[in-house]
A and B are shown apart, each in its own frame.
With several copies, the nearest count.
Chain A
Amino acid sequence: MSHDHSHDHDPLEKGTALRVRALEELLVAKGLVTSEALDTVISHYENNVGPRNGASVVAKAWVDADFKARLLADGPATLEALGFKGFQGEHMRVIENTPDVHNMVVCTLCSCYPWPLLGLPPAWFKSMSYRARAVSEPRAVLADFGVAVPADTSVRVWDSTAEVRYLVMPMRPAGTDVLNEADLAALVTRDGMIGTALV
């Protein structure tokens, strides 16, 4: 097993850490899981799956109008053709920010999130405060992120109540005409694709 408890100094977590270690050992002993499989899946979600996936899609859409049209019209098929599919992302849709509409994504009931495009959600996305407030006071929540949406821009909050997972396509920043697709992808932030940042 590659996991290492030497960094686990928080006394509050000690009980849980021990409980989890005991559970894993029990399940291995019973032949229900292998620690190798755990190591592999953890490593995959820590190293291969993350916001860079989503950023590459956004950048491609910024430079390729045909791709963008297909992406917005049929998210699942277009993303699957790029290899982006899988658990918690079987039905992903991309929604476009415009000068008139700012989009923002939440899951009020749990913490649904487009894993194949963004990886696992950040702590704040799972927080009670974000889940509670994003639908009722999105502009105040955006202010917590330092984002001010103009009064004449409509805010649309997407609550991920079913199995569709949403990715926000931010507006391409002005003055980026000279950048290539890879450079553009580097500009796109995770929060921008959740809708709590502008890029």
Chain B
Amino acid sequence: MDGIHDMGGMQGFGPVRPVEEDFKFSADWERRVFGLTQALGGITPFNVDEFRRQIERIPPAEYLNTLYFEKWLIALEWFLQDRGLVSAEELAASAKLFDADTAGREPVDGAALLAILGEGVELEYPRDTAVPAFAEGATVRVKLRHDVSHNRSPRYLRGRTGTIIADIGVFQFPDTVAQNIGTNPQHLYTVCFAAADLWGGEAEAAGDEVLADLMESYLEPV
């Protein structure tokens, strides 16, 4: 979706305000939302692209007005309802009203959860799973528009031309993974764009570059 989350190149957000101290969490509820998300992710009620998709569906004004971990909370509540684990009535009443089917979703203890998180999620496929359409050094153009549901091709790169500097390997395709309609493994490339090809005469320095990792489906030959 070409939504409010797609920030690259936008103006009007003011200066960046670096803060020396890094508290990670600014309130205790942020800790708990983080913990809940990891614990529920660990028993896979959702994948990371579905999670991103839900956050992208937060209405634009609300997206800008909520804190980072509030967005997680909104997505989490949506998932729990979508998977039939929790009902809207339960969330409104803050009380359990029915037994969820927890088969295959037994909660893991802390040690097991850390082991799962330490292992990570396998998103990569053997390199020969798909034949690459592009070679390193090839000039490519980013396609103009993508699936409305979720994609990882930022708007500021659409229609722009760059050079493939690495074929990273074969990865699952976020657009279809986010909709639970298939992994569609394909090559992922690091594409290098000259700042002047993105921002024209307004680029800060002609020799500067932006690099992005783009799925093969996002690219077309020039």
Contact (Cβ within 8 A) A22 B29: no
Q: Do B109 and A159 have beta carbons less than 8 Å apart?
A: no
The proximity string for B residues 138-182 relative to A, scoring 1 for CB distances below 8 Å and 0 otherwise, is: 000000010000001110100000000000100100100000000
Q: How far is the CA of A192 from the CA of B155 in the complex (A)?
A: 28
B contact residues, range: 35 or more
Asked if residues B99 and A30 are in contact (CB atoms below 8 Å), the reply is yes
Residues of B within 8 A of A34 (CB): 39, 107, 109-110
Identify A159's interface contact among B39, B40, B204, B211, CB under 8 A.
Answer: B211
CB within 8 A of A154: which of B26, B35, B70, B205?
Answer: B205
Contacts of A140 in B (CB 8 A): 204
Number of residues of chain A lying within 8 A (CB) of chain B? 84
> Given the complex, which residues of B lie within 8 Å of A139, measured CB to CB?
204-205, 208
In the complex, which residues of chain A have a beta carbon less than 8 angstroms from the beta carbon of B221? none
Decide if B99 touches A135 in the complex (CB within 8 Å): no
CB pair A124 B17 closer than 8 Å:
yes
CA distance A40 to B121 in the complex (A): 20
Q: How many A-B residue pairs have CB under 8 A?
A: 278
Contacting pair B212 A161 (CB below 8 A): yes
A159 with B16, Cβ < 8 A, contacts A19-B73, A30-B85, A37-B39 known: no
- Whether A41 and B18, one on each chain, are in contact in the complex, defined by CB atoms closer than 8 angstroms, is no
* B206-222 at interface with A (beta carbon < 8 Å): 207-215
Taking CB atoms and an 8 Å cut-off, the chain B residues in 50-95 that contact chain A are 52, 55, 60, 64, 67-68, 70, 73, 76-77, 80, 85-86, 90-91, 94-95
Query: Is the beta-carbon distance between B26 and A108 smaller than 8 angstroms?
Result: no
A172 within 8 A of B: no
Question: Contacts A38-B39, A128-B60 known; A85 to B31 CB distance under 8 Å?
Answer: no
Residues of B near A106 (CB, < 8 A) are: 8
Q: Which listed segment binds B: A2-10, A64-72, A180-188?
A: A2-10
B133 proximal to A (CB < 8 A): no
Q: Verify A123–B35 contact, CB threshold 8 A.
A: no
B10-31: contact bitstring with A at CB < 8 Å (1 yes, 0 no)? 1101111111001011111101
Which residues of A in the span 79-119 have a Cβ within 8 Å of any Cβ on B?
Answer: 85-91, 106, 108-111, 119
Asked whether B211 lies within 8 Å of A157 as measured between CB atoms, the reply is yes
Cα distance A70–B28 in the bound complex, in angstroms? 40
Are the C-beta atoms of A155 and B40 separated by less than 8 Å?
no
Name the A residues within 8 Å of B153 (CB-CB): 161
Which residues A109-153 have CB closer than 8 A to chain B? Answer: 109-111, 119-120, 122-124, 126-141, 144-145, 151
Known: A5-B28, A128-B10, A161-B212. 20 other contacts (CB 8 A): A16-B70, A26-B86, A26-B96, A27-B80, A30-B86, A30-B99, A32-B105, A39-B110, A40-B114, A45-B24, A86-B117, A86-B119, A87-B116, A90-B124, A91-B123, A109-B154, A122-B18, A155-B209, A162-B168, A164-B213
The 7 A-B pairs at the shortest CB distance, nearest first, are namely A40-B110, A38-B35, A108-B8, A162-B213, A22-B94, A129-B13, A131-B7
Can you report 8 residue pairs joining A to B where beta carbons are below 8 Å apart? A23-B36, A37-B107, A46-B25, A109-B6, A122-B19, A124-B18, A128-B64, A162-B213
